[in-house]
Amino acid sequence: MFVSDAGTHAVDIFDHASTLNGAVVPDRTISGDRTQFVSPGPLALDSSGRLIVCSAPGQQNFFVFANAATANGNVAPSASGVIPGTIGQAAVSPAGELYVTDGGVEVFSNIATATGMLSPRRTIAGPHTGLDMDIPGAPPLVIGLAIDPTR
C-alpha cells in the first residue's frame, strides 16, 4: 500500500497491507530532495509496477518511480514533468495512459518516459458529459476516478 503524506513530503509504503492493523510503521518511505516532492498527492500504479506520484491538488507536477516494489529513501524519479491545470485524482490505464481529473478528465500518453510540460492527448469534458466544470480558485469538483482494467 502506497500512501502520500503531504505533511512530511513523503510516500509511505506498507508491505502486506492486507494483514496490517493498528499503529504500524511503514516498511519503506520515499522522501528527500532527490524525489523532488513538494507536496505529494494523488498516486497511481501502472501495470509495469511504476508508481506515479502527482503533486497535491492545486499543483501540476508528476513523478514516475520505475522501481515501486523496492523504492526506498531519497531516490530520484525515472521521469517527471508538468501537467497543465490542477491534478485532482489520477489513474493509469492498462495501456499506460495517465488519466487525471481537472474539472473534467484529461488523458496523457507515454507517462512512463515523459518529461517537461505535457499536453493532454484527449480531454473528456463539456456540458454533455455530466462532469462539473472547473471553478477558478477552487479545488476540482470531479474528485473520484478509477479505470476498468478489463476494457
- Alpha-carbon span 35 to 33, nearest angstrom: 5
Task: List domains and CATH numbers for the chain.
Answer: 2-15+26-124 (2.120.10.30)
More confident residue, 149 or 49: 49
Of 58, 132, 131, which is closest to residue 88 (Cα–Cα)? 58
Q: What pLDDT shows up at residue 58?
A: 63
Q: Is the pLDDT of residue 24 over 90?
A: yes
- Alpha-carbon span 2 to 11, nearest angstrom: 7
pLDDT digits (tens, 9 = 90+) for 52-111: 998 876 668 899 999 899 999 999 999 998 988 777 888 999 888 999 887 788 899 888
Phi-psi region of 98 (alpha: psi -120 to 50; beta: other; left: phi over 0): beta
Q: What is the mean pLDDT of the chain?
A: 86
pLDDT band at 133; cut points 50, 70, 90: low
Element (H, E) at 3: strand 2-5
- Please classify residue 37 by burial: count the beta carbons closer than 10 Å to its beta carbon, then call 0-12 exposed, 13-18 middle and 19+ buried: buried
Q: Calculate mean pLDDT across residues 139-149.
A: 75
Q: Are 112 and 64 in contact (CB under 8 A)?
A: yes
Q: Are 57 and 41 in contact (CB under 8 A)?
A: yes
- Please classify residue 26 by burial: count the beta carbons closer than 10 Å to its beta carbon, then call 0-12 exposed, 13-18 middle and 19+ buried: middle
What is the tally of helices (H) and strands (E) in the chain?
Answer: 0, 12
